[in-house]
Structure 1
Amino acid sequence: MPTRVADRWPELQAAAATSRAVIGIAQRMSRNLTHSVALRLPAMVPFFPASQVVNAVSPERAVEAVRDAFVAYAQGEWTMPPKVYVPAYPAGDFRAMPALGGGHALLKWVTSFPGNPARGLPTVTGLVLLSDASDGSLRAALDAGAVTALRTGAAAIVAAEELGRRDAQTAAVIGAGVNGRAAAKTFLARGRDVALWDVDDERARAAADEIGARVAGSRQEALAADLLVTVTPGHEILLAEGSLGAGQHVSLMGADGPGKAEISVEELARVRIFCDDWEQVGPNGTPGRGRIYADDWEQASHNGDLVHAVEAGVLARDDVAQLGDVLISTVEGRQSDRDITIFDSTGLAIQDLAIALAALERAEDLDVLQLDL
């Protein structure tokens, strides 16, 4: 006798429930599997070796990016915790430099070993890591030496153009290492002839030939330039008391750590100083009475030329203006053609962030190497 549906209803209900349960389990397993596979997929991160950093960011683009970074920092849009030094003296030191801005976070781990060139090794090596500030994902890795050179040259010229005389005729760079060459190359990219001088005449000539600059006839000729950039290890005073002439500007880029100086305390005492970051420059850097500026007071007053004058009681916070504040017109820059202006730079992570972001913009265009992390 045929089985009635009604007789099998409980059985059919149980089967349906089982089917629904199985389907639910399958769906959950599918979602979990998809999520698991996604987690296991390699994260491809663009890596910019030194050559690709240079290809991605021209000196002119670097100037634009670094100027914008100074402005963003001065307006409080970008932030930068203090630079951390790990000394390995007398050979050199290691530095950890973080920054946050433009929707990204950056950390630069970089070295400074001035004696390395004599051993055929670079003075500056390291790695820059750029992450997305919204989810923490790594967005790029870059060669730190190339990033440092680009932003150092850019910062020096941003300061020279902002603080130097409008009718400045001559420009010179003292120090023909990697960062000195970058500064000279940036002057040239901005349409200004530049002279190079170095204690090693062969190095100066090689650098000048490479970038299309000329070699200064003497150290004194270079020191007398209307726009002067010094990029030396900072172990020797280049500018003694009375060295700077009326109307001259100097960007001090070499004394970027404790115990270094390119200018004497006495000379700082008579000029106006501008710094990139006061705290970073002060206890380890360079100030004065003409007009003194820094990249950042906090950094400059601890790790640049200014620190010696601060410790001697010759310089205080009110004597130094930050370059970013000049750029946004909250403080005055040069006020007369006879002003002597000094910019003391210790190098800021916000500058590195600016270069890294500019490079990332070109990642697809340049088809850079992708790291499988």
Structure 2
Amino acid sequence: MPGTGGLGPAGAVRAIERVLLDGLDPEAAPARSAVPVPAGELLLMPAAAGPYAGVKIAGVVPDNPARGLPRITGSYLLLDGATLQPLAVLDGAALTALRTPAVTAAALARLAEPEAEHLVVFGSGPQAYGHLDALLAVRPLRRLTVVARDPGRVAALVAYGRGLGLMASAGGPEAVGRADVVVCCTTARTPLFDGALVPAHAAVAAVGSHEPEAREVDEVLVGRAELYVEARTVAAREAGDLLLAGVGGRQLWNLAELVRGDALVPDGRPRFFKSVGMAWEDLAVAAEVYRAGRRRAP
């Protein structure tokens, strides 16, 4: 089963941007189906756009990391859009590890200051590595602070950052007070830091949960920030970071509006992007993996 065929972070970001610039409406995208199972949760995520259709079947298994296995499992079936004949099967976990950071990077390429240098990342799993790689494709990062619970995994990510030429170190939640960009990619169900500490110039992204009862940021940050989501329809069901903060009638800009240049991006207040994961994103990246593989074929 192929992974992501050598497609890198920059290519994945371009794939996300391309489908939005071509007119895809995230608000009309099919909803995710979530089925509780004894091991965790099964997710079914179908989508169709342009010449392709596809579906991801993903498992979320909270106990897997303790077994040395990925928390996210699954497969992606890419189909020809006109005939629905199978074209490729991809590793669902590898696809998720590429597409989630690509979505964040597409947003933060517009929300983070052009000279943003200091990234604070909460988490030390695959998404933390993926987000670091993706954000280096869109911003001139020079400094990395890792905030996570497992000292060994923190040390490994710090070493990885140093290998990329960054000034990297472990830190605590208070590091957000010196951040240009903050990314939360954890399994936390309660806020990770005091939102009052986030500088007014900073951009923050939270990607760790698609549950309405879980959040990684507090109502203080949400209240201070301009708010951005993949789609308002999905955020209203799944974005606990916003729902638990009681955003009510607040303006939420979606990712298409942001990428197309229609969203307000203010100075003088933080910008907060909340991602829950959507099926059209998987399709966009899976299709690019497939196209890239065909271009390399003899």
Q: Which residue of 1 aligns with 2:292?
A: 362
Counterpart of 1:208 (choices 158, 167, 181) is 158
C-alpha separation in 2, matches of 1:242 and 1:135: 52
1:199 partner letter: R
Q: Does 2:244 align with 1:308?
A: yes
Tell me, in whole angstroms, the C-alpha distance in 2 between the residues paired with 1:157 and 1:253: 12
> Normalising by structure 1, what TM-score?
0.72
Residue 220 of structure 2 is aligned to residue 271 of structure 1: no
- Stretch deviating more after TM superposition (64-73 or 347-356): 64-73
Alignment of 1:313-328 (within 5 A): 314-316=247-249, 318-328=250-260
Please show how residues 64-213 of structure 1 align to structure 2 within 5 Å: 64-72=14-22, 75-76=24-25, 80-88=29-37, 92-190=40-138, 191-195=140-144, 196-210=146-160, 212=163
In structure 2, distance between residues paired with 1:82 and 1:223: 36
Q: In the alignment, residue 63 of structure 1 is paired with which amino acid? A: V
Whichever residue aligns with residue 58 of structure 1, its letter is: G
Q: Does 1:350 align with 2:280?
A: yes
The equivalent of 1:56 in structure 2 is 6
Between the aligned partners of 2:205 and 2:160, the Cα distance in structure 1 is 23
Matching residue's letter, 1:357: A
Task: Give the counterpart letter for 1:315 in structure 2.
Answer: G
| Contact kept? 1:284, 1:308, Cα under 8 Å | no
Offset at 1:247?
A: 1.1
Give unpaired runs (5+ residues) of structure 2.
none
| Higher mean displacement: 242-251 or 101-110 | 242-251
| Secondary structure in 2 matching 1:82 | coil
Quote how far apart the aligned CAs of 1:155 are: 1.3
Measure, in 1, the Cα distance between the counterparts of 2:177 and 2:73.
29
Deviations 1:34-81 (A, max 9, x none): xxxxxxxxxxxxx41x3xx1x4211111111122233345x5499521
Aligned amino acid, residue 159 of structure 2: D
The TM-score normalised by the length of structure 2 is 0.89
Give the whole-Å Cα distance in 1 for the aligned partners of 2:261 and 2:294. Answer: 37
Structure 1: state its 5+ residue gaps. Answer: 1-46, 286-303, 369-373
Cα gap change, 1:241 to 1:93, in 2 (>3 Å): same
Asked if 2 retains the 8 angstrom alpha-carbon contact of 1:79 and 1:100, the reply is: no
What displacement does 1:165 show?
A: 1.9
Mapped contact 1:260–1:305 kept (Cα < 8 A):
yes
Runs of 4+ in 1 over 6 A off after TM superposition: none
Tell me how far 1:223 sits from its aligned partner: 5.9
2-structure distance, mates of 1:345, 1:76: 16
**Bigger Rg, which one:** 1
Q: Relative to 1, partners in 2 of residues 1:194 and 1:231: Cα closer, same or farther, differing over 3 Å?
A: farther
User: Could you say if the C-alpha distance between residues 239 and 197 of structure 1 is closer, same or farther in structure 2, counting changes exceeding 3 Å?
Assistant: closer
Q: Give the match for residue 234 of structure 2.
A: 280
What residue in structure 2 maps to residue 253 of structure 1?
207
Deviations 1:254-274 (A, max 9, x none): 122232101123431232110
Q: Structure with the greater relative contact order (CA < 8 A, sep ≥ 6): 1 or 2?
A: 2
Moved more, 192-201 or 177-186: 192-201
Please give the per-residue CA displacement for 1:293-350, whole angstroms capped at 9, x wherever unaligned.
xxxxxxxxxxx422223xx4x332x521112112212332x221x2210000001111
1:107 maps to a residue whose letter is V
Counterpart Cα distance in 2 of 1:72 and 1:85: 29
Greater helix fraction, Structure 1 or Structure 2: 1
